[in-house]
Structure 1
């Protein structure tokens, strides 16, 4: 059974149970499902066809989830777009995907107004609120659509090492598989209440928590964005049983002066991932809340994301590990020829399971590189220990993670090379006390040219999402290179080995 069908069963069998809670507004499974059907019905009546791509550009709201579920219910492909991206990045995604329609949040419409992509129509959340009117339109009648396992239900764009984002196509089977394995490994039941403070446009919030909790018939508590005071208030008062945060969020919460006085009686699980959790932060988290379990979650957008998990009993004695392979999932560490390596040896991590993506949108070449014989080649280098636990030791493709957000140096470097005064540049990750690591640029000026670090960062801020902008710029006379001319990035700045 696929997720839209499963949700329909819950709407019949537990119609009065609260599914979403957002800013004091609660929607039951029945209410939510009726609204989702109206979204599907609207696009049906407008003549949209199965697997047409509908872009969703919104902050966290219950309406976001209605659109997410409703579009899939109608057989359409929902494409959540990262709201932190700069205008050129958003426009590329719209153009490359050839998205037919756009649902957008008026609170962040300034970016939308600067893009040139032509949609069949744009529907606003807020303002004139066309979307809200659709949700309340009882004249819209949904016609059930046969959904295939391999139909593309979700597309999420992830930055590529070539500097251009790639559209990860996830099928209905991929999505339900993620729900199955994560709900099992986190012991999720219908009684769980998940507090979501991280962006719903990310695969982690959507598919590691919303989908698994929905799979079990639980409740989703939605916060627009992480905010120290508001998040803490919700943890105390909204009766959540689960919470997910990137390490930077836990660092901020644990540094509050009164944190040891806080009681969270309903919470049973702190999930963390998307970036490495420093040992001291993890230790402090367990000391501060000894009755709450912690669990690391590892995967990539390309596998829904679902690869492995480190459970609470290993949290402090297997620091740095991303745990054991998930149920129904195979994980190997292989050499360049795809041969499995023995315990302790480092190789590329490959993953196999029903959650592995269909492929990259309009990119057969990259799909063939990423998926071989059903195995997803993650691009991460890792090793297994004698207990069968997986460790990430490096990233094959130089990716760094700033507070849970992926940053690809090549993407930033391409922007730096647009600056006329710069001869060459290289970007590496350097440690940061809150964000884990941040991008730092090393730049060489053209002869006779002058430029300040602030000017470099200002230009980057017009072309890149804020989290991709170098936090520091250092000017050098030349970049270090090896005999073949390759830049020796490892000599530029301290870059810790990190898991995700």
Structure 2
């Protein structure tokens, strides 16, 4: 990434403002010594703004950057002394959003240990599989998951919230030096269609990844940021990385509740909110406080923006919405700003600076503009492969996202869905997401999901699952007629099923396998 662009972006976002010389020197030394890992980012923030609030939670806990670093260092020393954790080991982290989760991840990186971020929605069987496949040495978990971890092997050290606090309180003094190897962050794929896989995230090697994001999403140094997206997910973890780099004050709640979230945004004067799309839907369903939170940025990722969600949210909260399209494997691919979303509410936007995006056919050749193909992406933060040793297809340095999409004449990317979600019905290619977007615009519909199911005559057919707003009704034939009016006949769902709610995982994605159980 070219230096003038980096300097200009960092200046615009307030990261190159003058400070006390001794603190600036300490900040730069922290990055030089510890690099751009989460430990290095926290160290630089504590060196520059030691007394600034780093983390606030719903129980009134407030830790400054200096205090957060001290607790993470204590935990690192205790894990090494009491549990024998060493560089190259793996620690599982099964926690919701709170300061203990952050302390554990930072402690792991201080020791050169890999931190496996465990999805809080896993079943006991899935957790046992993850523990075995990832060869966990220690599992740090919230108390609410005590029963879930009972079946894990006895040799796996389990650290609940009380033990976590005791490790920090009882840590012996000592110096921590940069480890011989960087600890990796291992993010588990969402597991909506099967067992989750561990994806190794790279450590940034400079300002480039940060600049790519904050150039397009106008976050500033010392903002107050609420991270509602789960930090065990790529998007929530990215929010944490960006917040540390900006020396932001981070507001965390263990669980997302729309009313509590709005209250916290107002009470703490939050400048930004990191969320997943379904959270925006829930925020629109509750009465907003008066005055409404004066947000400058609402950044979402993790799943597609349904139907008219973007304009509806911006009508309520202002043109502050930014939609990042990416994945655990490619990090980011494109970003849509408010103007893009006003023009085309379902767009994924354009690639940010330093990112290459191509739409390729099955032979790896570019497809004509406007045609659907496979989305390939290249940037500085492509994943390092799965912990199983598997990887994804690569063409000319570009990684396969597993999604299908197209770029219109204005350069805007549209994602049509997962390649394995596309169905062939009567010889026609059908994308369920196109039908989902249309159904989500019906005023009676709270949320919609469309999947492909087996059909003896056509091979596959579409089934629509609709959750309606309280007190609303719809007739299945009226739904089919509505789709028939706007889309081709092969896009009309043969089955229309009404449900109380859609099954979602902890990151807000619809779990399709749960819907397929309707078909045996």
Q: TM-score interval w.r.t. the shorter chain?
A: 0.7 to 0.9
d(CA) in 1 for partners of 2:168, 2:36: 23
Q: Please say if 1:396 is aligned against 2:419.
A: yes
d(CA) in 2 for partners of 1:427, 1:12: 59
**Map of 2:323 onto structure 1:** 296
Q: Please say if 1:379 is aligned against 2:409.
A: no
After TM superposition, give the deviation of residue 152 of structure 1 in Å: 4.9
Q: Please say if 1:248 is aligned against 2:304.
A: no
d(CA) in 2 for partners of 1:152, 1:298: 26
After TM superposition, give the deviation of residue 44 of structure 1 in Å: 2.8
Q: Please say if 1:470 is aligned against 2:514.
A: yes
**Map of 1:494 onto structure 2:** none
d(CA) in 2 for partners of 1:116, 1:137: 26
8 Å CA contact 1:323–1:391 kept in 2: the answer is yes
Label 1:343 to 1:409 Cα distance change in 2 as closer, same or farther (>3 A). closer
**Map of 2:36 onto structure 1:** 2
Label 1:214 to 1:28 Cα distance change in 2 as closer, same or farther (>3 A). same
**Map of 1:430 onto structure 2:** 464
8 Å CA contact 2:192–2:511 kept in 1: the answer is no
**Map of 1:136 onto structure 2:** 169
**Structure-to-structure mapping, 1:227-376, within 5 angstroms:** 227-256=257-286, 258-259=287-288, 262-290=290-318, 292-303=319-330, 305-363=331-389, 366-367=390-391, 369-376=392-399
**Map of 2:50 onto structure 1:** 15
Label 1:12 to 1:152 Cα distance change in 2 as closer, same or farther (>3 A). closer
Label 1:429 to 1:199 Cα distance change in 2 as closer, same or farther (>3 A). farther
Give the secondary-structure state (helix, strand or coil) at the position aligned to 2:88. coil
Q: RMSD value over aligned CA atoms? A: 3.4
Match of 1:91 among 128, 140, 149: 128
d(CA) in 2 for partners of 1:78, 1:362: 16
8 Å CA contact 1:155–1:170 kept in 2: the answer is yes
After TM superposition, give the deviation of residue 372 of structure 1 in Å: 4.6
d(CA) in 2 for partners of 1:386, 1:117: 56
Q: TM-score, normalised by structure 2?
A: 0.73
d(CA) in 1 for partners of 2:465, 2:36: 42
- Give structure 1 stretches of 5+ with no counterpart: 414-424, 436-452, 454-460, 477-500
Give the secondary-structure state (helix, strand or coil) at the position aligned to 2:321. strand
Label 1:110 to 1:79 Cα distance change in 2 as closer, same or farther (>3 A). same
Label 1:396 to 1:223 Cα distance change in 2 as closer, same or farther (>3 A). same
8 Å CA contact 1:42–1:140 kept in 2: the answer is no
After TM superposition, give the deviation of residue 177 of structure 1 in Å: 5.6
d(CA) in 2 for partners of 1:345, 1:100: 48
After TM superposition, give the deviation of residue 163 of structure 1 in Å: 3.4
**Map of 1:200 onto structure 2:** 231
* Higher mean C-alpha displacement, 72-81 vs 170-179: 170-179
- Give structure 2 stretches of 5+ with no counterpart: 1-34, 423-431, 441-448, 470-496, 498-504
**Structure-to-structure mapping, 1:384-463, within 5 angstroms:** 384-398=407-421, 430-433=464-467
For residues 144-194 of structure 1, what are the alpha-carbon distances to aligned partners after superposition, in whole Å with 9 as ceiling and x for unaligned?
Answer: 12465xx45111111569833211011222897644432332122222111
After TM superposition, give the deviation of residue 67 of structure 1 in Å: 0.8
Match of 1:31 among 61, 67, 72: 67
Label 1:468 to 1:318 Cα distance change in 2 as closer, same or farther (>3 A). closer
Q: How many pairs does the alignment contain?
A: 422
After TM superposition, give the deviation of residue 119 of structure 1 in Å: 4.0
After TM superposition, give the deviation of residue 342 of structure 1 in Å: 2.7
